[in-house]
Chain A
Amino acid sequence: MSISLSDVKRIASLSRIAVSDAEAEATRAQLSGIFSLIEEMQAVDTAGIAPMSHAQEIVLRMRSDTVTEADQHEAFQKGAPQVEAALYLVPKVIE
């Protein structure tokens, strides 16, 4: 399957990535390569094979329900661009 330039631009827009026309063409070629690999994999007959949810055949380890973490927000917030009243500040988003 080959994808079109407009597909690339749509995906870029959905991913919130700014892509120039030249980059879009290069990306189109790369993505087409990836899609042909996927096509190859999709040709494999997987009927009767349970979907794999993890690469290893082991199961989840759990922890007991106890509080082990102390308040470290001051240390964490040293790396934040903007903080006020212990809140992380981000550009306004209202859905």
Chain B
Amino acid sequence: MQWEVVIGLEVHAQLSTESKIFSGASTAFGAAPNAQACAVDIALPGVLPVLNRGAVERAIKFGLAVGAKVARRSVFSRKNYFYPDLPKGYQISQFDLPVVLGGEISILVDGAEKKVRLTRAHLEEDAGKSLHEDFHGMTGIDLNRAGTPLLEIVSEPDMSSPLEAVAYAKELHSLVRYLDICDGNMQEGSFRCDANVSVRRPGAPLGTRREIKNLNSFRFLQQAIEYEIQWQIDTLENGGKIQQATVLFDSDKGETRAMRSKEEAHDYRYFPDPDLLPLEISEAWIEEVGKTLPELPQAKRSRYVSDFGLSAYDAGVLTSSKELAAYFEEVVSIYSDPKVCANWVMGEVNGWLNKAGIEIARCPISSRALAGLLNRIGDGTISGKIAKEVFEAMWNGEGEADAIIEAKGLKQISDSGALEKIVDEIISNNPSQVADYRAGRDKLFAFFVGQAMKATKGQANPAQLSEILKQKLAG
């Protein structure tokens, strides 16, 4: 029997401010424990929160980029719960009046475009960290993260497969990095996903959902949702019922496990925080922020297709990160054949980056250096095949393309006299193949090309060689 899957995502994006959302403590990652937890963050009596303008500015930027309504007036509320890494006993968040309302994100799945609607995005503070190991049965609390600004981005339940959920998460991830409002570092927890998953019969009302918490990689997001869907379908088909619950994904076992059911669910007792007045955002401020918006991934993709003549797929790969797109555009600005540039950036550059497990920002070959290499293919100095050898040498820090070609003597042999001499030798050394070829075995042509390439260590100009071979073999 058929089942329909319904998925909504909540993403916590850590905003890239210097200081915390309500205090002047630093947000830098990796500081010594509690070195960045000030009096406000640890909730000493009498302290008061003061909102960071930079956090609001980033929320406005996001709202404008997704075509949402930026609320002229929004309110901070207290979300109450007890946990030792939350010193105040409440988290300052937004409840009924969030800063960003609506908007949408376009995703591309199997070549088809789909819009995922956003419900809202709101500002809130992060909690501290609890370390459960090695403290003689006690828990260690590090409050450096407490008060770090987060933008919680909530989607409508518009996704209907794990792949769509991953495509949405990736698109959002790319967008916040384009906007420069979040560094997107998933290992450090700067971008975390919660997935709400339910299944139903086609046309039936929404099924009961379970929420998978804290997924910090796209692979886990996909695995967790896949497992959860199968678990819910199996449960229902075996006559069971789904209880609304919060679940955790165990990445070692590849399964989801209930953390708390709805009966034990928290009642957060939200109420407006009396320490904070309503946040008002003027039209002028929104306009000002709007002027700072960069070209967004979707606009960039269309431009690559229309101006550079690239396929939608290639455009998607090249614009997947702002840095990769910038690298590609720098290459194109020097070597003006976008398709060749795209092939090299997506093929060699991306391939080597993946193999080395590094980001484009740390690519050992600069965009200018790559363009220099492409220029040498373009002007016939080296063939595409030799260029890959040069690329590898450049990657290994052996210098720029020209120096490597010179040092290794890789220059293509385009001297027709030299080539003719080599071809003459091959013809005289292989009389039977020549006879067969002349008798009509056209396939032997490749044999002669191979011999010539061997004799020139692959450096013969392929077009010229082919020309000379044809002439000479014709007899």
Interface secondary structure of B, over-half rule? loop
Chain B residue with the shortest CB-CB distance to A16: B82
With A76-B42, A91-B138 as contacts: A64 and B53 at CB distance below 8 Å: yes
User: With the chains together, A32 CA to B332 CA distance in Å?
Assistant: 76
What residues on A are CB-neighbors of B276 within 8 Å? 54, 60
Question: What is the number of residues of chain A that contact chain B, defined by CB distance less than 8 Å?
Answer: 35
User: Quick check: A67 and B34 within 8 Å, CB to CB?
Assistant: no
Chain B residue with the shortest CB-CB distance to A55: B274
User: Quick check: B274 and A54 within 8 Å, CB to CB?
Assistant: yes
Partner of B19, one of A66, A77, A90, A91: A66
Question: What is the number of residues of chain B that contact chain A, defined by CB distance less than 8 Å?
Answer: 49
User: Quick check: B32 and A86 within 8 Å, CB to CB?
Assistant: yes
User: Quick check: A76 and B137 within 8 Å, CB to CB?
Assistant: no
Chain B residue with the shortest CB-CB distance to A68: B24
Chain A residue with the shortest CB-CB distance to B41: A69
Asked if A71 lies at the interface with its beta carbon under 8 angstroms from chain B, I say yes
Asked if B51 lies at the interface with its beta carbon under 8 angstroms from chain A, I say yes
With A53-B75, A58-B277 as contacts: A86 and B24 at CB distance below 8 Å: no
Could you say which of A53, A61, A66 has the most chain B C-beta atoms within 10 Å of its C-beta?
A53
With A89-B141, A94-B132 as contacts: A65 and B17 at CB distance below 8 Å: yes
Asked if A46 lies at the interface with its beta carbon under 8 angstroms from chain B, I say no
Q: Write out, one digit per residue, whether chain A residues 63-87 have a CB within 8 A of any chain B CB (1) or not (0).
A: 1111111011100110000101111
Chain A residue with the shortest CB-CB distance to B259: A95
Asked if B244 lies at the interface with its beta carbon under 8 angstroms from chain A, I say no
Whole-angstrom distance from the CB of A71 to the nearest CB of chain B? 4
Whole-angstrom distance from the CB of B448 to the nearest CB of chain A? 69
Partner of B35, one of A62, A63, A86: A86
Q: Write out, one digit per residue, whether chain B residues 22-56 have a CB within 8 A of any chain A CB (1) or not (0).
A: 01111000001111111100101000001111111
State the B residues within 8 Å of A (CB). 17-19, 23-26, 32-39, 42, 44, 50-56, 75, 82-84, 97, 130-132, 135, 137-143, 259-260, 272, 274, 276-280
State the A residues within 8 Å of B (CB). 16, 53-56, 58-69, 71-73, 76-77, 82, 84-95
